[in-house]
Structure 1
Amino acid sequence: MKDKQVLEFDLIIAGGGAVGCLLALSLRSCGLKIAIVEASAYACDSQQSLHPGFDARSIALSHQSASYLQQLGLQSSLLENCVPIKQIKVSDQGHLGQCWLDHRQQRVEALGYVTSQQQLGTMLYESVKDADDIDWFCPDSVSDVKQHQQHIDVILSSAKRLSASLLVVAEGGSSPTATKLGFQSQVQDYQQVALVANVKTDHPHEFRAYERFTAQGPLALLPNADSSFGLVWSLAAEHRDTFLHMQNSEFLQQLQQAFGYSVGRFVALSQRNSYPLALARLARTVAHRSVVIGNAAHTLHPIAGQGFNLGLRDAQCLSTLLRNTVKQDGDPGAAPVLQVYSQQRHQDQSLVVNSTDALVRFFSNNHGPLVAGRNLGLGLLDLCGPLKLKLGRAAMGYGGQNAAS
């Protein structure tokens, strides 16, 4: 018999960031009593950043991710705060090979949408924070986990004790709770950092996103709502301090030289930040009455902009399975349910992880034959309608197995 001091739930979500909030939002009113445990406090002052995980960095939502958010009733908020991506240009510095992806080829209004992590976080948090079937333990964190035959117990740093049928870990990369559960991460350091900032040009962005492979590393520009671009520039780790601390004018000059004049002249720059880049993935994502999703399960290089969208598809698949389990009066944390989740997500996760890793290695290499080969490939791809259509579908989030199949 359980201790009467233990707070009973059906589902505990460790991590109240975007993926954790999305999972809780997806399970609203399905009959599950949910607890969210989040270590970082949410700010009440509108002048502050809502949450450390929700900063001003631009994030690209794939068409599939945006469609899912709209299915959850967030269409008006989503369209109000997002900028559509109508076209994507892929090019290589100093070479003629390039490829254009266009929303009209896919017969959609947009290939994807750009928002800031802060806007997305606010939208998700506001949608779940007052839900009657969701209890927040924030700021608080998981200090210990005990797995039992029919339930899982979670002891918090505050000494509160929670119990549930299932624990979902959505804490982001290097999750301490995943480590406590015995999940082991395989890490490949790319010896690169992502430098992020917002930049303004003297030309309108015309709802175009750009992926350019430069001598320093892959560079992405995402159209923002204020006519600026969100910049993500992957640089060798040894160049981090140089690019992070050089004068704005010098940085803009370096950026101009690497990118060219496709968007006119770069004229303004926000504060720059950086974070290290590595591929981290778990050998397995399910264990007894526990499952790991999002960046806690797979942290990717930003070269293709698919990491966050992959995490959203994890939440979508898991929420669909849990809803169906509840309808059949089943046990949400039962091994067969988690095994189905693992099987349904394997193809999509493996495809995105492996293809992203291959892109990093292929386009971060300046060996002559490889450069010639990839430029020839870009040129041929631009001329081959069926292949370009397939690439566009992958960029829109439909390249792998259906998240909810």
Structure 2
Amino acid sequence: MSQPPFPSRPRSGGRPLRADVVVVAGVHAAQRHAQAARLAADAGATLVAAVAWGEDGLVPEAVLRTGGPVVLEVPAQVPVTHVIGELADEPERVRVTAVVAVACLHTLHEDLADGAGHGRALVDCLEAATHHALVGASEPDRATGPAATPGADRTVHGVLRADGEAETAARRLLAVLRPDALPVVGGRADAGPLGTAGTDAAGGIGPELDCAGWLQVVNGEWPTDRVVPGVGVARYERHRPFHRGRLEELADRWALEAAARGAGGAAAGLRISGLCRLGDLPEWTFRWDQVGTDLELHPLAPDDAVLGAEPGDDLEPELLCVGPELALFGWGAHADLSRIVADLDAALLTDAEFAAGPDAWG
């Protein structure tokens, strides 16, 4: 089930100096904190650590009072998109200049395969990020420059650096989830100072800035000539809803197959995201959110609703989708998505079920 939204904080009437905030998120606490501390030290910024957060999940007041550069470490249980949205509601006090997602190279595939555990939180971080920090990846020696010192310690935050092939594969996967994210090296990004990439016209990152790979695929914005070695990418669009019973059976079968693969299942990754409809609730559009084999369907809107409408707006309802419009990403055993597509096709309503009427649609 989806996590309930955190409460909103009332806006403050005061107008202190605006703080530039770099948000740092990730699922492994020690690595996330080490990266946040390093970024803060390199930038001369105030570090607001994860331990400063309360149980309500609201951004600590220290961030809003600082009035200077801040690195905000976000606990794993707090959705990073909520944090970006909350800070965007305080434009006179804070400006989010970068969102850094911290991932571990050595556990990346295992984390992403466990959708019910680390996977979903990690994907949320990676897809919302303007920068990716890959712990365990190679980087220039901080004292001597690009060439690493012979015999030097080959660990990063206590994690052994990986070989180039594994790092290349990991970076390709990160680039699929968020194509425009820049890599972080220490406190620096590949293109300009950390905090300048991905900002909107006002110089800050707002909740509407969402350039995740799945959105590009669903919206038809994924370049047709963009081929990512080792990662399958497909847009799945059909003009009929799913049969709920067969879809539930499919999700169960995928989970059982992953369990049967055992440890090898970590190399079979899936990210499926987009919109769909269910035959027994034909007036509703659902948000499909799947990491690994963990599938969540969230009711998004009925057909007579207008998303984002404000009181007094004279807007007509817009049909969000007729059938599934999904982005499919697969790697490892799922790099060839043909079987996933066939499984999804088999879960759609058939002609016979359409003819039989609504009683046969669930």
TM-score w.r.t. length of structure 1: 0.25
Structure in which a larger fraction of residues adopt helix: 1
TM-score w.r.t. length of structure 2: 0.27
